[in-house]
Structure 1
Amino acid sequence: FLYNRDAPPILAASLIHAAIDEVLQTDLSAFKKQSVEEEEEGDQVQELISFLLSVLDGGSLQRCFFNKLRDICCEWQKLLPSLKSLKRFLLISSHAIRNIRRKMEDRHVLLPEFNQLFGLSDDIDRAYFAVFDGHGGVDAANYAATHLHVNVALHKEFLKNPTEALKDAFQQTDEMFLFKAKRERLRSGTTGVSALIVGNRLHIAWVGDSQVMLVQQGKAVTLMEPHKPEREDERMRIEALGGCVTYVDCWRVNGTLAVSRAIGDIYQKPYISGSADGNSFELTGSEDYLLLACDGFFDAIRPDEVVDLVLGHLMQNKGDGFKAAERLVASAKENGSNDNITVVLVFLRDPQDILADCLGDPKNLSADEGAEDSSFNFFSSEVNIQSDSHPMTKS
């Protein structure tokens, strides 16, 4: 609503936080629609039971929110509060296509204004990005894209241990969606990968085969291992629970799903786990960009190819990285991907500087040569970096 009225993102996020804060200070019992009986007590997380005992009328609550938003806009027109922007350089390029699939079941979230959205006023930069790849319907992906970052921000350990907050938020979001899925008879599920930048730390968490990778000084850096049934530890976990991993055109859990962890998939629990893995890495300032994408991309494009494609795009566009994600999505489709494709590319350095560093290396081709053929191999090395297992004081 605010973006469509050309509100700058930092202003939009700040307005949203202020309006929600006002709503939460009102008596929400006025919006209660009906009571929900407590069924199978003990099977749900205690916090969920207390929250879901009442269902609020969405229409009335929405009107209340927009009234609060209007009042705050009128106040801020008279005196605009100080809005603190990110000190870190971030340029975001994102693109998503349905491809030849009947439905678009991917969702992605871009929140460089994480601090403003949740009213965090310290001097630590925070930005959040996520990609969700739904299957069996879009309900789980929609739900995760709406709730996961909120569960992160409201986690009791969020400031002290953001990696744990990210991991726990996946589990909490899974439990919340399973409650909804049981009540509404929803069968869908979604993989997910999220990245939270906090100061000079990168925190990641994931379930399933959506992935995040880093490019540092022109080299692809592996940050994670996707959850696939053929992984030995995943196969052993599934079989220990009484499930099986079989090959039906690819390795599948109980002959159905080709991922071993996901949010949702109520009829495949506990074999399909909602428990996320996570990691934390130090950012030194030498990182070029972060890339998050679904398996529709990574099944068609190798990490080292990402480096070549992005650099080729920058050379052809004189360092303009705004549409680099479109180039990556198009390349995945050209390479035979038939799946939904979503790519989120977060430049951590100015693309102009990345291009200048490349062209300053005599081993690389000139800009004119690169423009003629963007398929040449700039870098062929892919490296793994070890994570710092010590949690960082976080925001």
Structure 2
Amino acid sequence: MTNNLVSVHFTVLIFVYQFSGLLLINPEKVLGPSDSDSGKGKSKMKKHITHGFHLVKGRSGHAMEDYVVAQFKQVDNNELGLFAIFDGHSGQSVPDYLKTHLFDNILKEPKFWTEPADAVKSAYSITDSTILDKSGELGRGGSTAVTAILINCQKLVVANIGDSRAVLCQNGQAKQLSVDHEPSVESEDIKNRGGFVSNFPGDVPRVDGQLAVSRAFGDKSLKVHLSSEPHVIVELIGDDAEFVILASDGLWKVMTNQEAVDAIRDVKDARSAAKILTEEALNRKSSDDISCVVVKFQ
């Protein structure tokens, strides 16, 4: 009897250990700088739709400021794929807040299911206002963002502020879904708000000589001269859609959209594809934090 009990106990321990291990590597989660830098998952609605992500800390002296969201979520009878890159600056508090709250705020919008683009714009505005109100707690830093919501594997709602980017591959061709919000492009709007854009030799254009993007969450000291209105696009996922890449500017500073698409088009595993892109960015001497999400549709 004792031997049997020991055997049963041992078997239970093995099962618990294995089950715990599965939970530990479960990629269906929000990722912050203290978590694993890689993971993957798949849709329950269509098993061939998968996602993978990979993050690499840059060579700068500050802590990792990129955050990633990559998960599928059931909402009533619907499935949502929630994917995002939040690239923080001047601290981790704002991107950390975004990865915890932004998607919740979007899904709370009454018009999300009928007018998703309007819902996303409203949620971005509400979230930014809250971040500014909480500046005493969150600090005066900020963050860019690119978000993608895959609705029932059929519709992709992409929004962004700043220079984190979303690129769709259709029949091997790169199609940029986001807009890089650069101070040089929006200089007139910044001037009309009372700000200025400087471009010192050897540097990039900056709002008030400080920030290298013209739109961002947070940044209370610059907000009067910045916008937090996102660019939003709704893309139907047809048979020609192969995959979409979301990445921070640490990737796009050293790779074109088409180069990124070409680099992973023949890679079946989404996590491997994301890792290949981050490693290629490193090979090309990118010194910034690099975060990447790849969602495969085929």
TM-score category of the 2 structures, normalised to the smaller one: 0.7 to 0.9
Give 1:179 shift: 1.1
Residues 1:236 and 2:188 aligned together: yes
| Pair 180,244 (structure 1): closer, same or farther in 2 beyond 3 Å | same
| Count of residue pairs the alignment pairs up | 262
Q: TM-score, normalised by structure 1?
A: 0.63
Give the match for residue 246 of structure 1.
Answer: 198
Deviation at residue 89 of structure 1 after TM alignment: 3.0
Task: Give 1:296 deviation, angstroms.
Answer: 0.7
Partner amino acid, structure 2, of 1:170: Y
| CA distance in structure 2 between the partners assigned to 1:335 and 1:286 by the alignment | 30
Query: 2:144 is matched with which residue?
Result: 191
CA distance in 1, matches of 2:21, 2:130: 33
After TM superposition, the structure 1 = structure 2 runs for residues 316-327 of structure 1, keeping only pairs within 5 Å, are 319-327=268-276
- Secondary structure of 1:266 counterpart: coil
CA distance in 2, matches of 1:111, 1:310: 21
Distance 2:138 2:46 in 1: 45
Q: 1:263 to 1:242 in 2, by over 3 A?
A: same
1:262 corresponds, among 209, 216, 221, to: 216
The runs of at least 4 aligned residues of structure 1 exceeding 4 Å deviation read 7-10
The residue correspondences of 1:270-285 to structure 2 (distance < 5 A) are: 270-285=224-239
Residue 240 of structure 1 aligns to which amino acid in structure 2?
N
Match of 1:28 in 2: none
> Is contact 1:292-1:343 (8 Å) kept?
yes
Query: Any residues of structure 2 matched to 1:70-149 within 5 Å, and which?
Result: 85-87=44-46, 89-102=48-61, 103-113=63-73, 115=74, 120-122=75-77, 124-149=78-103
Quick one: structure 1 residues 321 and 152, their matched pair in 2 at CA, closer, same or farther if it must change by over 3 Å? closer
Structure 2 residue 158 is the aligned partner of structure 1 residue 204: yes
Q: Counterpart of 2:81 in 1: which secondary structure?
A: strand
Whole-Å separation in 1 of the counterparts to 2:69 and 2:138: 26
Change (3 A) 1:285 1:4: farther
With a CA cutoff of 8 Å and minimum separation of 6, indicate the structure with the bigger relative contact order. Answer: 2
Distance 2:172 2:110 in 1: 37
- After superposition, the Cα gap between the structure-2 partners of 1:244 and 1:170, relative to the gap in structure 1 and judged at 3 Å, is same
Instruction: Rate the CA distance shift 1:285–1:185 in 2: closer, same or farther, 3 A.
Output: closer
Higher Rg = 1
SS of the residue aligned with 2:224?
coil
Could you tell me which residue of structure 2 aligns to residue 77 of structure 1?
none
Q: For 1:34-82, what per-residue CA distance to the aligned partner results, in whole angstroms no more than 9, with x for missing partners?
A: xxxxxxxxxxxxxxxxxxxxxxxxxxxxxxxxxxxxxxxxxxxxxxxxx
Contact 1:207-1:261 within 8 A present in 2 as well: yes
State how far apart, in whole Å, the 1-side matches of 2:111 and 2:125 are. 15
Secondary structure in 2 matching 1:152: helix
Aligned match for 2:120, one of 166, 177, 195: 166
Q: CA deviation at 1:271?
A: 1.1
Indicate conservation of the 8 Å contact 1:88/1:125, yes or no: no
What is the letter of the counterpart of residue 223 of structure 1?
L
Please, what TM-score do these two structures have when normalized by structure 2? 0.82
Match runs of 1:13-28 below 5 Å:
none
Q: Is the 8 A contact 1:309 1:328 kept in 2?
A: yes
Aligned residue number for residue 330 of structure 1: 279
CA separation of 1:4/1:206 partners in 2, compared to 1, >3 Å: closer, same or farther?
A: farther
What is the deviation of 1:121?
A: 1.9
Classify the secondary structure of the residue corresponding to 1:187: coil
Query: What is the letter of the counterpart of residue 6 of structure 1?
Result: L
Taking a change above 3 Å as real, the CA distance of residues 8 and 202 of structure 1, as seen in their structure-2 partners, is farther
SS of residue matched to 1:134: strand
| Matching residue's letter, 2:137 | E
5+ residue gaps in structure 1?
A: 14-83, 350-395
Residue-by-residue CA offset, 1:158-192 (whole Å, 9 max, x unaligned): 121112212222111111111111x3371110000
Give distance in 2, aligned partners of 1:111 and 1:320.
Answer: 16
CA distance in 1, matches of 2:123, 2:20: 30
